[in-house]
């Protein structure tokens, strides 16, 4: 894990970070209005029904955003990687959180108090434009996922989820192993299926030499075939 001091420096200096668009004076003021918080694996960052307390931003780790459905079954709505925002929709909408956020691994997040966010950050037009683009992209993603999770068959849904993990987190140094070690239950919740169906379908993919499985590690052997399975649905 990064130290908090290193986390702040990386957050302010990374050109992909929304904070890099602040002026030097705004950055200096920001430091008075932020807190950095470490989260252990499986620790809640916020829960469904909580009131947002500011603008949160992931510096290190992985976070899942999920809703609890019938019978307590989870549906993973999206996943966040470093430089991603956490729970900002509820903050902007002035609503409670309609989903929960949990760390998938040890993570470090930055929290900006709402007064600075609304009265300083959003007064910067570059910051506002970046946040609006992010919100628009996530709306498009949600629309596409709604179709996927309701119309594709199990194989197509699971294939798309594996490709989503590849796109979101990338590969390990071997260029094939997904850089996200999810439980079978999480993979199922991401794909809108039961855990047993996820296990069976992963085994089928492995038998077809599309993927290789080693515990929670999944290595993609044939990305083109996985893409075809995803598109055929």
The predicted pLDDT at position 72 comes to 77
Indicate the pLDDT class of residue 3, thresholds 50, 70 and 90: low
Residue environment code for 159-195, b if the CB has 16+ CB neighbours within 10 A, otherwise e: bbbbbbbbebbeeeeeeebbebbbeeebbbbbbbbee
Q: Which domains occur in the chain, in start order?
A: 4-148 (2.60.120.10), 153-232 (1.10.10.10)
Note the pLDDT of residue 1: 53
Q: Which of 10-19, 117-126, 129-138, 145-154 has the least mean pLDDT? A: 10-19
**How confident is the prediction for the chain on average, in pLDDT?**
92
- Percentage of the chain with pLDDT > 70? 96
Mean pLDDT of 42-63: 95
Say which residues have a Cβ less than 8 Å from residue 140's Cβ, sequence separation at least 6: none
Q: Which residue has better confidence, 6 or 8?
A: 8
Q: What is the pTM of this model?
A: 0.86
- CA dist 36 and 128 (Å) reads 22
Confidence of residue 42 (pLDDT cuts 50, 70, 90): very high
Half-sphere CA count of 41, side-chain side, radius 13 A: 6
In this prediction, residue 4 has a pLDDT band, given cuts at 50, 70 and 90, of: low
pLDDT digits (tens, 9 = 90+) for 86-115: 999 999 999 999 999 999 999 999 999 999
Identify the pLDDT of residue 89. 94
- Write down the pLDDT at residue 214: 93
Q: What is the mean pLDDT of residues 216-233?
A: 93
Q: Mutual orientation of helices 154-169 and 184-191 as an angle, nearest 10°?
A: 110
Spatial contact of 104 and 86, defined as CB atoms under 8 Å apart:
no
Query: What are the backbone dihedrals phi and psi of residue 14, each rounded to the nearest 5 degrees, phi first?
Result: -70, 120
Q: Which residue has the higher pLDDT, 135 or 8?
A: 135
What is the predicted pLDDT for the residue at 5? 62
Q: What are 152-178's pLDDT values in tens digits?
A: 999 999 999 999 999 999 999 999 999
Residues 179-207, mean pLDDT to the nearest whole number: 95
- Give the pLDDT score at 7: 63
Tell me which range, 2-11, 28-37, 89-98, 144-153, is most confidently predicted by mean pLDDT: 89-98
């Amino acid at each position: 894990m990064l130290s908090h001091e290193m986390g702040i420096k990386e957050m302010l200096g990374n050109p992909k970070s929304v904070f890099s668009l602040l002026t030097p004076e705004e950055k200096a003021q920001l430091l008075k209005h932020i807190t950095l918080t470490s989260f252990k694996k499986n620790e809640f960052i916020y829960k469904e029904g909580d009131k947002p307390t500011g603008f949160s931003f992931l510096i290190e780790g992985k976070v899942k955003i999920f809703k609890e459905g019938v019978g307590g079954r989870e549906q993973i709505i999206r996943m966040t990687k470093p430089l991603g925002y956490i729970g900002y929709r509820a903050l902007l909408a002035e609503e409670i959180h309609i989903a929960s956020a949990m760390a998938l691994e040890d993570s470090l997040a930055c929290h900006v108090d709402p007064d600075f966010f609304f009265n300083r950050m959003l007064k910067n037009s570059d910051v506002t434009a970046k946040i609006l683009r992010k919100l628009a992209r996530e709306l498009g993603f949600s629309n596409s996922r709604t179709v996927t999770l309701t119309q594709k068959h199990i194989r197509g849904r699971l294939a798309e989820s594996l490709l989503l993990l590849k796109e979101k987190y990338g590969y390990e140094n071997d260029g094939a192993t997904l850089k996200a070690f999810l439980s079978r239950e999480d993979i199922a919740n991401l794909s809108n299926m039961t855990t047993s169906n996820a296990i069976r379908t992963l085994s089928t993919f492995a038998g077809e030499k599309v993927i290789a499985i080693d515990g929670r590690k999944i290595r993609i052997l044939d990305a083109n075939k996985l893409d075809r399975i995803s598109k055929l649905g």
